[in-house]
Amino acid sequence: MEEFPPYLEEEEEGEEDWASKIKHEVIEFILRRYSLLSAPDMARVLGWKVREVNRVLRNLENFGRVKRTKLGRTYVWTHIEEHRLNPMYY
């Protein structure tokens, strides 16, 4: 049997980075558009697991793109551009 050339393996690794990049962009877009959201709400809307959403949110927080704020007993996330606005407490 003939083996595949090594460049195909490199493309597979690139696809994984591509998928995670899209996840980051989707979460950022949602937060820019709708501002304060919790991880379970985003997971429900996207059809993802909460664990997966939390992983992406923590990565974005480490990059300085999103900010987590405690609101009552839960945490909500917002895009860093929107963080200067104070959340309204009812």
Q: Report how far apart, in Å, the C-alpha atoms of 17 and of each of 21, 45, 73 are.
A: 6, 23, 34
Helix spans in the chain (H): 6-34, 39-46, 50-62
Tens of each residue's pLDDT in the chain, 90 residues: 455 455 444 545 555 688 889 999 999 999 999 888 999 999 999 999 999 999 999 999 999 899 999 988 989 999 887 555 555 565
**What domains can you pick out in the chain, each with its CATH number?**
7-79 (1.10.10.10)
Burial class (CB in 10 A: 0-12, 13-18, 19+), 63: exposed
